Structure 1
Amino acid sequence: MSFKFEKILIWQKAMEFGEDINSLSQAFPEKEKFNLSSQICRAVDSIALNISEGSIGQSNPEFRKFVGYSIRSLAEVVTCLHKAKRRNYISESTFKKHYDDSFDLMNMMVAFRKNIK
């Protein structure tokens, strides 16, 4: 037996992405522990959390709304990546990899949301 959300590809991808971003944030300076590191981890965790919450016992319009929250959280992660790059906490190549992963995940989530009837 499994939960409905565990079978959803965007949830699976969001879980993987979340672990990647969490690992990345561990390399940020100690002074960012309660600022940027915390913010990016909360935002990236919210992506999968909102997908799972919206999939359980919600109407389709509610599920679409929760996927929308996930997309907004992803935008927050992207902004944190920009901040990390500007502050020289990550390289251009690291930024690009995670930015591209973010863009792919966003497109998947937008397409998924459009197909919730």
Structure 2
Amino acid sequence: MSNFRKLLVWQKSMSLTTKIYDNTKSFPKEEIFGLTSQLRRCAISVPSNIAEGFGRDSKNELIRFLNISVGSLFELQTQLEIAKNIHYLDEEEFNNLYEDSREVERMLIAFIKKIKDSN
């Protein structure tokens, strides 16, 4: 594949990032440098690391950046739980975002496995 933009996992992670931004708009203003910022930075990290890894010269480097994306997703999932627990997200918002993040997670893990198996 010649372009990371064609990767479905990158496209899904971009969509998730947009949803995170939309959902955090309603967070309290005092959270702009706290949980709002953390959620947004984690979300941004996922497609960004997929793209950066894709631009590297080796499969090992690609895998390393994909693993960073997985770590960012786990961080994002934890912060979503916190946002739900402190009532910044309602149950439906949380479930939708969490399921989207789990879908990206499964896709990334499968992609990593496919790359490793191709060696």
TM-score, normalised via structure 2 length = 0.93
Aligned partner of 1:57 in structure 2 is 56
Aligned-partner Cα distance in 2 for 1:90–1:36: 12
Distance, in Å, in 1 between the alignment partners of 2:3 and 2:113 is 18
Q: Kindly indicate whether the alpha-carbon contact (under 8 Å) linking 1:43 and 1:77 is maintained by their aligned counterparts in 2.
A: yes
Q: Match for residue 33 of structure 2?
A: 34
Counterpart CA distance in 1 for 2:67 and 2:11 is 17
Deviation of the 1:97 alpha carbon: 1.0
Report the counterpart of residue 21 of structure 2 in structure 1.
22
Check if 1:114 corresponds to 2:110. Answer: no
Cα separation, 2, equivalents of 1:30 and 1:57: 38
Q: Deviations over 1:24-75 (max 9, x none)?
A: 1111111100000000000000000000000013300110110000000011
Q: Distance in 1 between matches of 2:88 and 2:64?
A: 33
Question: Offset of 1:105 from its aligned partner?
Answer: 1.0
- Count residues in correspondence: 115
What corresponds to 2:75 in structure 1?
Answer: 76
Q: TM-score, normalised by structure 1?
A: 0.94
The answer (yes or no) to whether the contact 1:4–1:56 under 8 Å persists in 2 is no
| Residue ranges of structure 1 left out of the alignment (5+ in a row) | none
**Partner Cα distance (1:42, 1:31) in 2:** 17
Letter in 2 for 1:67: L
- Cα distance in 1, alignment partners of residues 17 and 57 from structure 2: 24
Distance 1:69 1:58 in 2: 17
Structure 2 residue runs of 5 or longer lacking an equivalent are none
